[in-house]
């Protein structure tokens, strides 16, 4: 009977030690949350729709969804309206 209690106590102690070593320190958890937030912000910025405004060889201004050929200067144009601007396509 005492052997069973010793086994149960040993298992409980082993589980406790395993939990203790596998838990995350508060500083590490905060750092992980910060990294996740930075990654989410970067992903959000990359997902925003953007147009590219550039001038071709003939001097014509082009506005495209894809960036211009390498070496050509361009400007990114944000598609999202600023706060406070109402966008309604039904108005004349």
Per-residue model confidence as pLDDT tens digits over 25-35? 788 888 888 88
26 and 65: one domain? no
Domain co-membership, 39 together with 6:
yes
Please, which residues bridge with residue 74 across strands? 54
Q: What is the pLDDT of residue 81?
A: 66
Q: Is residue 91 situated within a structural domain?
A: no
Q: How far, in Å, CA of 23 to CA of 29, rounded?
A: 10
14 occurs within a structural domain: yes
Q: Which residue is listed with tokens 């999202």? A: 80
Residue 41 lies in a domain: yes
Burial state string for 5-33 with b = 16 or more CB within 10 A and e = fewer than 16: eeeeeeeeeeeeeeeeeeeeeeeeeeeee
Quick one: 2 and 19 in the same domain?
Answer: yes
Say if residue 3 is in the same domain as residue 31.
yes
57 & 71 share domain = yes
Per-residue confidence at 88, pLDDT binned at 50, 70, 90? Answer: confident
> How many domains does one find in the chain?
2
pLDDT of residue 69: 87
Domain that holds residue 20: 1-47
């Amino acid at each position: 009977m005492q052997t069973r209690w010793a086994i149960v106590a040993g298992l409980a102690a082993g589980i406790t030690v395993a939990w203790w070593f596998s838990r995350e320190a508060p500083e590490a958890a905060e750092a992980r949350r910060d990294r996740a937030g930075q990654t989410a912000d970067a992903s959000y910025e990359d997902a925003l729709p953007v147009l590219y405004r550039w001038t071709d060889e003939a001097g014509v201004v082009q506005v495209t969804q894809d960036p211009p050929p390498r070496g050509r200067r361009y400007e990114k144009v944000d598609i999202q309206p600023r706060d406070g601007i109402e966008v309604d396509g039904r108005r004349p």
